[in-house]
Structure 1
Amino acid sequence: MHALYQKINTERIVWRIEELAKCSVTKKGVTRFSFSKENEMAHELVAQWMRDAGMTVRRDGLNNIIGRYEGKWPDAPALLIGSHLDSIIEAGKYDGVLGVIAGIEVVQTLYENGMRPNNPMEVIGFCDEEGARFHTTLLGSRAMAGNLREEELFAKDGNGTTLAEAMKEFGLDPLQYNTVARNPKTILGYLELHIEQGPILEQMNQPCGVVSGIAGQSRYKFRVEGLTGHAGTVPLSLRKDALVGTAEMIQTIERLALQYESLVATVGKIAIFPGASNVIPGLVEGTLDVRSVDDGTRMTALNRIFEECEHIAKRRGLICEFTKVMESPAVICSSRFIDVISSVLKEYKMKSVQLVSGAGHDAMALASITDIGMIFVRCKNGLSHHPDEFVAAEDIKIGTSVLLDVALKLTS
């Protein structure tokens, strides 16, 4: 297997990542939402690269792009390799994209060297993992796992466009979303290579690690309603200021989260109404994201957050409401996949360090129907979701080589 290491074309991988980075609304970083012109440009590039790698290409009913490389046993279950092609606002160029392009390179290396695995391989670019547009994550992978709910078709973006409407704009029938679901019997397992988005591998001076599990996540929208008033005439003691109340709630959320090991909580977005400098804010809307590898801890912390925010609202004469957007349990990676990835790391003279992912990944959704495994690749300063996100070319080559060797071990 190591002989193929030299066949991996690192320059091709880096060039493709740079080309995808150009498919962006913004010049600073990458902004590429699902069901957008920019995402369509990225899909067309990826489809062509998949064909160049000897794959047949199709798009499913939720706009996931899938390239298939037939194996010696075409009726055998396929090994899926993938990640996502969408981004947050002003993201880095490697998040998600590295996993898709590395997967294509794995297949292209086999194709160019006349090799066929026993099992087919499929490389997948998922349509919407981040949830930046419709605020509901893992759309493509949850649909593939058969866990997308019909009501989610009516989730709206910031312009009021629903997911169903956006799908129609790209020629998709929203009512056919359930046809995306895969039969678990046709899947051997799912592999995902991803940047670490954390500092541990860099601190260890190691290019790659194996993921043991992915933190569970709760995502909520919240609404704090007070009373709008004149900024110059209403005394502070008589105000029902929704923003001041929200600020106290945010500090309380941080204080509570710090009391639990392995738990994080983030208020990542707020909107203030009416949003004028001389008007007391009467309404604040925002988002809450709570994560932990222990689902019990996560739920306990959430309940405390709700209770304390309700107390703050009552004391200040406000109304506070939380609405669940998404709930995903913690996921444990397959022990078989962990063992195979660990053995390959050792072959490359690396420690088989096991890492827990605090970030969500498409692997979480696929875990409900098949075995999953994840490989983390070192990123500079552990920085992600930022324009300065960076992965060294040598680490890209090592990570892709590990992915190739793991895929061959699983399909031989």
Structure 2
Amino acid sequence: MNPFLDKLHPYPFEKLAVLTAGVTPPADLKRIAFTIGEPQHAAPQLVLDALRDALEGVSKYPATKGEAPLRQAIADWCARRFGLVQSRLDPERQVLPVNGTREALFAIVQALVDASRPARVVMPNPFYQIYEGAALLAGAQAHYLNCEAEQGFQPDFSQVPAEVWRDTQLVFICSPGNPTGALLSLEQQKKLLQLADEHDFVICADECYSEIYFDEQNPPPGLLQACEESGRHDFSRCLVFHSLSKRSNLPGLRSGFVAGDERLIQAFLKYRTYHGCAMPLHHQVASVAAWQDESHVQANRNFYRAKFDAVLEILKPVMDVQRPDAGFYLWPVTPIDDEVFTRRLLETQNLGVLPGRYLSREVDGHNPAVGRIRIALVAELDECIEGAQRMRRFIEAGC
């Protein structure tokens, strides 16, 4: 057995299952799940058509590197989306298709961390638990940066002690954040680039929620954009991770990419060649269609805007809840303990949410996510409204 397996924490949904064991929800209320960030909107028809037309690809082994048309489509999308003029990605050497960002975020740590010397992986707190699990299984130590409401749910890199920076090999950032929806500004990302040079670490930017935002004129900035504006045309020390799961409502396609520093991409390609995780050819063809089309993505954002408008109107009078900068989560304060709130909400309203504390760790005696819940507004509008109304009735009744 890998001894590091014993260091892994139970996954949030395992904890939720334990918390709600034995609960019998009202039989007359349909179950509504605000728990898992699994988009429920319809998949784009143009992608389904492309997938169906490419099914003969199942008879061939795919290359780990991916086919040239997909890598080119990804490089072109990055250039359009992040304004890359001087820093355009080389689709041959700086782009690698992956089977969703979860697979890549985990695997990149295994490929890049040198456990023969002290190794730390810095991450926001709360966080996507894959960051932590990847660090622990690679033999590294996780270092958590609390993201508090008072600081806009942002990690404060100025608070990292010198001895931590000394051993840091990789820093995870997530913008828009999961679960907070907070954005790292370009200036914050540029400062992190300077820190990466000063302390010799890699920045892994999880940007899989970047295409769900509210202002069409101001999309969330990304790390590639920060590189472009900093004159960092080789994207050194930088890797970005994107996915079609949220952007295009295709979580089951398992399609994303990692792009950036050529040296790191080529090392990761070598790792993944042995890992055996090449994207199926028909998935690649479907992915090309998705990355080349923006109309379905804009329509998707419109659906989310309508849901946030409706749900916030219902909940704001009874909860401390704010519209996030981007993404599809709400991160409200609960009027009672977040675990008690979650269990009772399911028991009385047949409505599922996730306790905030399951997405965070206690640091210096404090867990920044205690007393909050994560609400995933992934269902259709009518169901989101019904769920918000049930939650309001639950709160107004005294929980």
Q: Same fold (TM over 0.5)?
A: no
Structure of higher RCO (CA pairs closer than 8 Å, 6+ residues apart): 2
Comparing both structures, which one devotes a greater share of its residues to helix?
2
Structure with larger Rg: 1
Comparing both structures, which one devotes a greater share of its residues to strand?
1
